Amino acid sequence: MNAPEKNHKEGPISRADNPGGPQVAVPADQPATGHPARAGAAGHSHPHESARAQVAGSATYVDDIPEVRGTLHAAPILSTVAHGRLRGIDTTAALAMPGVRGVILARDIPGDPLLATFVHDEPVFATDKVEHVGQVIGLVVASSAMAARRAARKVQLNIEELPPILNVRDALKAESYVLPPVFVKRGDAARALRDAPHTLSGQLEVGGQEHFYLEGQVAYVLPQEQNQWLIYSSTQHPGEVQHWVSHALGISNHAVRVECRRMGGGFGGKETQAGHMAVWAAIAANKLKSPVKLRLDRDDDFMVTGKRHPFAYDYTVGFDDTGRLQGLKLMMAANCGFSADLSGPVADRAIFHSDNAYFLEDVDIASFRCKTNTQSNTAFRGFGGPQGVVLIETILGDIARHLDLDPLDVRKRNLYGVNERNVTHYQMKVEDNILDPLLSKLEQTSGYRKRRSAISAWNDQSPVIKRGVAITPVKFGISFTATLFNQAGALVHVYTDGSVQVNHGGTEMGQGLNTKVAQIVADELGVAFADVLATASDTSKIPNASATAASAGTDLNARAAQYAARNVRDNLAQFVAGLDSCGAGAVSFAGGMVSSPKGSRPFPEVVRMAYANRIQLWSDGFYRTPKIHYDKTTLTGRPFYYFAYGAACTEVAIDTLTGESRVLKVDILHDVGTSINPAIDIGQIEGGFVQGMGWLTTEQLVWNDKGQLSTHAPSTYKIPATGDIPEHFRVDLWPEANREDNVFGSKAVGEPPFMLAVSVYEALRDAVGAVKAGKGPVVMDAPATAENVLKAVGLH
């Protein structure tokens, strides 16, 4: 929900000025930093490059691509049992259905029957056993999608049921793991806990989350000549789709080309999961020698694909009379589902972010990666970070209640310091710390102290409706924790009319990556934003590209594109310097003009002259993130290039008779460095917050005792709707550039705002705590559904 462009030029606005949207405070001309107005494209709120096409319905997604004659459609055959031995598959009834062209099973895989995942533990199709309800056993291929789906339900499966493991606690008892446990220690937590004046122990359960992208999973596979393949995939990682498909077909990577112009949302759910669709469709296309499209309907998408990892925690914390942490012993157990997928790095990042913004001096963390008979959980915005942050914020909230202190004071007392108390439990120094001034600023601008007093007075006279308020910070590390993925490439082409095309390895999923890349390239060449076109991600143009994930899409790809554009600019500068007898450094590019001490020429004119003189007008660019290093065996080092910071103040109300809740007010102060595009960044902050709010309030995944996901459609799985958005929703941007040398001085903005929504959960617990006087912890699992709120109220 990008804020209207006018909001970013006219200064702070109120809801009366903009009744259709949230309150967004923005200084004139340069809302991101408070700097004077900037020339050029970057630093301004240009509309998303596809916005008009999307509104008009002319933006092309995979399912909109005109189908080649002879295209067939596939639908998955799904296991109906959570755990069992697959004794037989009867496809007779399915093959007799109208329009059916064939059934695809494991025997039809020409290459490796296991997917090319990191752990190599997931079959392409189930063979001798099934491990969750919804596991794909094969495909039915027909002349239409509906014919294929109807026929898939006619396949008869003979499955001998086995006892399933359906939750983390049972997996821990059975020592059922997809990966070995990981342990991280610093200091002597046992001694610190013994010596602490106060201790608290507890447990917490935090649920998963369905990605619920607007565009579901889809792949369209077209056989080409000489056993080559073209794949249109809605994917965050075209290179991985290429690798997975070639692996399954038993051919080389260079024979598979993957293209993705845009996705209708991803949120991590199309990082690995999109590869499954492409592999399945490619195997069908290979057998039937026809183009094949596989598009899951929403129910099947829920049943087949992984979600955010649910977590369970046991903890004991020690602290002094002021609330300062002295020791922490923590057990984190991730529900990984039936295979590893990305669970290792997700659980690692949960460890990294179990401190959030706070110094942990003596800490002992045990991380278990549990195998259950559910969908294989996967990447989701924050990638384990939210599961670390919510736990430490829960602990600090309960410490404040135990000591009868203001939770914000306890949080501020435990913040990382500057030049002291500034090394994380994984041995990375926090060098760019703005936590204390940022929190203090939000405390002042949100009127936190005054509102807290007013809420206390309200609660004293209101027996049914209770209110709560909380401020929580975020410190989120930016970079892939797997160091090798922190690299990117790009191509910039300048055509003889002066127009520019840029291609890079990132993917556009609505987050504005292509818009930001085009802004950076435009400024590097000194041309108008409208003169730069970003094109579809394509493995035949940029090979071996990393996933667009870890919030690093702009950091990596915009910098690579900037370097490519700089190479072209340098070629042109040297050419003009030769014409005008000056140094290349004296040639400048701005406002569509190329200037030297002898005069100025329009950029298109210089380009035409350079072409006539055989000057190269295209170039590649490559970037790798500096400074980072990480030992994955000890989980120590500098896994992150920098941290992004933020804080949110949220006010809520609960109905103590029904458990219903509502978010009343939200004030956010977030650090995006020098914003490349303030409107897009604010849209990301708003969207991330609301998605995080859904995770912690309404979005509940429920499996029954047979392992069947009961909440597999919008009728039973509730994401936030327009009516859930608070009327007061204010976003301010922290006015400081990134202290590290990042593109345009910006910071990543995709994932960090998600964790600002932990303030919603803490405000709800604050309201529950107001029901009954006392110093006990508020016991409430997440999400804080009406049932969980009511249960928590009953415990107080």
pLDDT confidence of residue 30: 40
In sequence order, the β-bridge partners of residue 465 are 655
pLDDT at position 95: 98
pLDDT value for 776: 87
Cα separation, 507 vs 414, whole angstroms: 38
The single residue of 393, 699, 751, 762 carrying the catalytic annotation is 751
Number of other residues whose CB lies within 10 A of the CB of residue 574:
14
Residue 218 host element (H or E): strand 218-223
The Cα 702–Cα 208 span in angstroms is 10
User: What span, in angstroms and rounded, lies between the C-alpha atoms of 47 and 738?
Assistant: 24
Contacts of the segment 584-588: beta carbons below 8 A, 24+ positions apart: 588/526
Locate 585 and state its tokens. Answer: 């450094």
Question: Cα 684 vs. chain centroid, distance in angstroms?
Answer: 11
Side-by-side strand order, sheet with 156-161: 129-130, 84-90, 156-161
Q: Is 660 annotated in the active site?
A: no
Give the H or E element holding residue 316.
Answer: strand 311-319
The span from the CA of 187 to the CA of 185, in Å, is: 7
Token digits for 582?
């000056």
pLDDT reported for residue 443: 98
Query: What DSSP state is assigned to residue 214?
Result: S
Q: How many CA atoms lie within 13 A of 1 on its CB side?
A: 17
Q: How far apart are CA 611 and CA 495, in angstroms?
A: 9
Q: What is the DSSP string of 242-268?
A: HHHHHHHHT--GGGEEEEES--S--TT
Identify the pLDDT of residue 565: 98
Ordered mean pLDDT values, 10 residues apiece, the chain (796 residues) = 33 32 41 58 98 97 98 98 98 98 98 97 98 98 98 98 98 98 98 98 98 98 98 98 98 98 98 98 98 98 98 98 98 98 98 98 98 98 98 98 97 98 98 98 98 98 98 98 96 98 98 98 98 98 98 98 98 98 98 98 98 98 97 92 98 98 98 98 98 98 98 96 97 98 98 98 98 87 98 86
Given this model, what pLDDT does residue 796 score?
Answer: 65
Q: Give the relative orientation of helices 273-288 and 238-249 as an angle to the nearest 10 degrees.
A: 40
Q: What is the pLDDT of residue 533?
A: 98
Task: Supply the pLDDT for residue 643.
Answer: 98
The whole-angstrom separation of Cα 285 and Cα 605 is: 49
| pLDDT recorded at residue 623 | 98
Q: Where are the alpha helices (DSSP H) in 668-723?
A: 678-697
- SS3 of residue 438 by DSSP: helix
Q: In 3D, which of 290, 278, 220, 217 has the Cα closest to residue 249?
A: 278
Report the helix count and the strand count for the chain, using DSSP H and E.
19, 29
Output the DSSP codes for 381-434: TTTTHHHHHHHHHHHHHHHHHHHT--HHHHHHHTB--SSSS-B-TTS-B--S--
Neighbours of 740 (CB within 10 A): 18
